[in-house]
Amino acid sequence: MPRVGIIGAGAMGGGIAQVAATAGWEVQLYDINAEQLDKSLDFIKKMLNRSVEKGRIDDVECKAILGRLYVTQNFSAFANCDLVIEAVVEDLQVKKSLFKKVEKEVSSDCILATNTSSLSVASIASACDDPSRVCGIHFFNPPVLMKLVEIIPAVQTNSETLAKADQIISSWGKLTVKAKDTPGFIVNRVARPFYGEGLRIYEEGIAEPSFIDRAMTEIGEFRMGPFTLMDYIGHDVNYKVTCSVFEAFYWDPRYKPSFAQKALVDAGYLGRKTGRGFYNYTQEESPQEMDWDASLAQEIVDRIVVMLINEAADAVFWNIATSKDIDLAMTRGVNYPKGLLAWANEIGISRVVSQLDQLYDTYREDRYRCSPLLRTMARKGSQFEL
């Protein structure tokens, strides 16, 4: 039976363990915290029992999956693993020291992967004697439900590692996309304007969060508006990701964090988990009358969507991923109503360019610069191939 080692039994590691065991792999789940291992196993049992109740799997299957799950606090359990996936705290030094130790315990053909969201895979790989066996395998939260996985070759990764990692994760029933080892990979890079431009519109006083959220869900057909989503993710987490992406892009103004969100973090208004964020969750809020202006709402949606399209097009321009993979990532990874590049084709590339140029003319900020790819495509009259 193929065998995978998972380091870190938190939200991600536990979920990845369930995915692998369900796909027929033996799993060795490791954590420094023994209590966390018990908690994680209990949670997986609860999830599987729920699947039995709902008739998705039967009792025999449930027992077989649990029978493939082992917990350990010893790296020697990884000796015969084909793959080890690390999902511990987002700390470069912790990850590097783990990779160094784990490499000594596994066979020479074992793939070592990191689930990092924001660190450089090349830097983590550099801790190993053989960095060519290291790559990024980035699941989304919760791993059991989210179909998308980004596979990230580092500059050191060899082609066999990449092909094998891709084949294994596909065999676990996931949809894989390949992304360059750059900040945010695909999804966490391309999605930045969803929050950033929403915040900017609010900070300029153009509309309130509830208005922008309504515009994005009713007109844009997104599942959640940016402010509801940020409250749900937690402003501490979302603000930290924004700051780290901003820094990692050498302070490109396109990724500039917002004072409005910083103020919430400073105040401890972290969103749903603290009862207050952009919205107040401590009291039953009576639906407030909103001055609904359909044309303003459309302008807001158009502005956020063209900024998202610009980000997606620029990711193609910089060879972060193919247009097809970017659209797959945004529709399957974060459930966007449409692929952004398909959306660009639909709106018309020239129209997208002129909307971006209008924003640039108004603000004269580098944040609103149009991607060279869009401009070239508009000139040639071409479309994204998807």
The catalytic site residues sit at 117, 138, 150, 188
Which of 51, 116, 182, 244 is close enough to bind ligand NAI by CB under 6 A? Answer: 116
Indicate the residue among 117 and 261 with the shorter CB distance to ligand NAI: 117
115 binds ligand NAI (CB under 6 A): yes
Indicate the residue among 9 and 110 with the shorter CB distance to ligand NAI: 9
8 A C-beta contact, residue 30 and residue 7: yes
Which of 107, 141, 335, 354 is close enough to bind ligand NAI by CB under 6 A? Answer: 141
State the minimum distance, in angstroms, from the CB of residue 292 to ligand NAI: 34
Indicate the residue among 35 and 129 with the shorter CB distance to ligand NAI: 35
382 binds ligand NAI (CB under 6 A): no
- CB burial readout 322-355, b (16+ within 10 A) else e: bbbbbbbbbbbbbebebbbbbbbbeeebeebbeb
* CA gap 310, 347 in Å, rounded: 13
Q: Which of 20, 316, 328, 21 is nearest to 175 (CA)?
A: 328
Indicate the residue among 31 and 306 with the shorter CB distance to ligand NAI: 31
State the minimum distance, in angstroms, from the CB of residue 139 to ligand NAI: 6
Residue 101 tokens, joined: 């130790």
Beginning with the edge strand found earlier in the chain, give each strand of the sheet holding 175-178 in spatial order. Answer: 69-72, 26-30, 3-7, 83-86, 111-114, 134-139, 148-153, 175-178
Taking CA atoms, 325 is separated from 45, 64, 126, 312, 315, in Å, by 34, 34, 27, 11, 11
Which of 4, 5, 6, 12 is close enough to bind ligand NAI by CB under 6 A? Answer: 12
**Total Cβ atoms within 10 A of residue 159:** 9
13 binds ligand NAI (CB under 6 A): yes
9 binds ligand NAI (CB under 6 A): yes
State the minimum distance, in angstroms, from the CB of residue 305 to ligand NAI: 24
Q: Which residues bind ligand NAI (CB under 6 A)?
A: 7-13, 31-33, 36, 87-90, 94, 98, 115-117, 139-141
